[in-house]
Amino acid sequence: MTAPTADAVPTIGSIAPRPAVPWVRIAVGIVVTIIAIRLPYYYSPETNQIFSKVLYLAIAAMGLNLLTGFNGQVSIGHGAFFGVGAFTSAILVVNHGWYLEATIPVAAVLAALLGVLVGFPALRVKGLYLALITLGLAVLFPSVVKKYVHGPGGIPLLRPSRLEVQSLISSIPDDIYQYYVCLGVLVLTFLLAANLMRSRTGRAIIAVRDQEVAASTVGVDVARVKVLTFALSAAYAGVAGSLSVLIERSADASNPLIYFQDSIEFLIAVVIGGAATITGPLLGAMLLVAIQKRTEGTDALAPALLGGALIAVVYVLPEGIVGGYRRAVVWARRRRGMGSSGDDPPASASAPEPPSSDPDLPAAPTPSPT
């Protein structure tokens, strides 16, 4: 019987071990922080807008990751929560004169309330049936908006003026200010997600995903955990929708499939980045936007090229970018161990090692070898 490693997912009721932070990780974190802060000063406003889109897309993907990756509830309707956040901010800015920054908490709360309303019925279904319910929500949302929201010409489209979303700090240009707002919200939400998944509540969320019956047996309120996760996940999407109005200067429901398409993008970002990880949604959003920008000028071929590129990425990295990184680390350690010993390891040592220094714990469990 081997001793538990620091990377194993802790059991319910135990204290999550925190591995020592290596100096290399601290140095990398400092470098990444400096780059993130200085980045917009070296690029044009159009490029900074792309950077900002990556950030708010990553926030929405993290919300879906909490629900699908960590809790195991499949949703392809998060575009509806995204739309709730977008139209909440747009209405408050255009019709009531709010600062957009002040609308972000309101958008999060309203999206969370809708998440609760969807979460309770979702307790009775799971898997593909839950996916179909959330799909219906995403497709239905534009029709509901068309009935109650009327922009210029009666179209369900609200466009805040440039003055309504301009920088609140006169010394910082609008595009850089918007990037900083998105960056600050992303850091806050990702830190919240990382700390949540290391807490007792986070362990309960993972336990419900892995062994729902066992979790209920040891005292976890499964219904409460599922609804809470749904609400938090929806709040993340609502925040992302609010930020999209700051960047895109529009909340649009004229296309009946627009929020379904958003839902698919969030899911793609989670899958290619790495489900049940913290950095995965950000990496997935970066790669997704990069692929979109490379294929957007090909007109009718753009969807096919995007689909083909994503299939290739998923084929090469079936566990996402973070999963591929973990496997590379394990492979490198094995090679180093074999090189130092000079002999091949025994057959029993060929089982995959748990990731030992990844910051995204707790993650999806690795299947045990047979």
Amino acid at position 155, single letter: I
Q: Report the Cα 294 to chain-centroid distance in Å.
A: 22
Q: What percent of the chain has pLDDT over 90?
A: 64
**Residue 309 CB: number of other CB atoms within 10 A?**
18
Domain that holds residue 149: 38-350
Q: What is the DSSP letter of 221?
A: -
Q: Residue 238, exposed/middle/buried by CB under 10 A (0-12, 13-18, 19+)?
A: buried
Separation CA 88–CA 251 (nearest Å): 9
Residue 11 maps to a domain? no
Residue 325 maps to a domain? yes
pLDDT of residue 193: 97
pTM of the entire predicted model: 0.86
Residue 33 maps to a domain? no
Reported confidence tier of residue 352, pLDDT bands at 50, 70, 90: very low
Residue 21 maps to a domain? no
pLDDT of residue 86: 97
pLDDT of residue 360: 55
Question: Tokens 């049936």 correspond to what residue?
Answer: 129
pLDDT of residue 99: 95
Q: What is the CATH number of the domain that holds 274?
A: 1.10.3470
φ/ψ bin of 276: left (φ > 0), alpha (ψ from -120 to 50), beta (otherwise): left
Separation CA 242–CA 240 (nearest Å): 5
What average pLDDT does the structure give for the chain? 86
pLDDT of residue 358: 47
Stronger pLDDT, 11 or 102, i.e. the higher one: 102
Reported confidence tier of residue 303, pLDDT bands at 50, 70, 90: confident
The average pLDDT across 189-213 equals 95
pLDDT of residue 362: 52
Q: Domain total for the chain?
A: 1
Residue 369 maps to a domain? no
Q: What angle do CA 129, 228, 265 make, to 5 degrees?
A: 55
pLDDT of residue 300: 65
What pLDDT digit, counting tens, does each position of 5-51 carry?
A: 444 444 444 444 555 557 888 888 899 999 999 999 999 999 999 99
Q: Report the Cα 94 to chain-centroid distance in Å.
A: 28
Reported confidence tier of residue 213, pLDDT bands at 50, 70, 90: very high
Q: Report the Cα 27 to chain-centroid distance in Å.
A: 25
Residue 7 maps to a domain? no
Q: Could you tell me which residues are beta bridge partners of residue 353?
A: none
Asked if residue 189 lies in contact with residue 62, where contact means CB atoms within 8 angstroms, the answer is yes
Residue 4 maps to a domain? no
Residue 17 maps to a domain? no
Asked if residue 185 lies in contact with residue 104, where contact means CB atoms within 8 angstroms, the answer is yes
> Which CB contacts under 8 angstroms, 24+ apart, belong to 140-149?
140/80, 141/79, 141/80, 141/83, 141/84, 141/253, 141/259, 142/83, 142/253, 142/254, 142/255, 142/256, 142/257, 142/258, 142/259, 143/256, 145/83, 145/87, 145/253, 146/253, 149/87, 149/91, 149/253
- The closest of 352, 286, 281 to 322, measured between CA atoms, is 281
Statement: residue 62 has pLDDT above 90: yes
pLDDT of residue 126: 85
pLDDT of residue 338: 78
What pLDDT digit, counting tens, does each position of 124-154 carry?
A: 888 888 999 999 999 999 999 999 998 887 8
